Structure formats: C-alpha cells, structure tokens
C-alpha cells in the first residue's frame, strides 16, 4: 500500500489521532497552517468526493463537528477545506478534509 493516508488509517504509520469512528479518522496535520489544523479522512480509500461511499458522508460531517468541539474552535470559528482533484490543489490522492482554526483566517486563503 503506497497511499500515506491509507497507512495512517491502518495504523501502519504514526499520527496524532484526535478522533476516530468506524469509518473515519482525524489527525493533526504534520505541517499545520493554523494553530488548529486537523486532517479528516475516510478510512476506506476514496480518491475524491465523487468516489466517496454515501454512507461515509454523514460520518465525515459528524467528525468535523466533533473535532471542532475537541479542538475548542466551534464558537470562535473554523474553516473546512477540500481540494478535489489536481487543479484544485489535491496533493494526496485520498479524499481528505482540512479543518483549520484557532486564529482569524483570511479569504481568499494565501
């Protein structure tokens, strides 16, 4: 298996897991772009949004809600980013969501 996120989901690669359910895992980003920067992924490999199993969609949104509470950014605000495809900036070919918060976030992101 060469997908880094599949390795993290399978616990073959170390990460700081902050949330986990049967279908989803969330962990601190290794190169954070904000004080809070968590990556949320489906455990099963999905290349992008169009390949995501419909049953996992609700689990992703539950994870986003839970992580925002755990990281204490639900009240001050947070951003969720999905880069879907190469032209959108998707660097890892495994669907992933970035949850960022803990400071004022500019728009457009720089």
- The catalytic residue positions are 96
Q: How many CB atoms lie within 10 A of CB 107?
A: 6
What residues does 4 pair with on adjacent strands?
none
List the strands of the sheet with 24-28, edge to edge: 17-20, 24-28, 36-42, 97-101, 78-82
């Amino acid at each position: 298996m060469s997908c880094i996120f599949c390795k993290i989901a399978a616990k073959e690669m170390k990460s700081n897991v902050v949330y986990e359910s049967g279908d989803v895992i969330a962990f601190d980003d290794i190169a954070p772009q904000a004080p809070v920067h968590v990556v949320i992924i489906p455990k099963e490999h999905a290349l992008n949004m169009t390949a995501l199993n419909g049953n996992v969609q609700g689990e992703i949104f539950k994870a986003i809600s839970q992580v925002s509470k755990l990281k204490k950014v639900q009240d001050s605000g947070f951003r969720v980013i999905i880069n879907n495809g190469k032209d959108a900036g998707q660097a890892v070919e495994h669907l992933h969501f970035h949850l960022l918060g803990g400071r004022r976030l500019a728009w457009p992101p720089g």
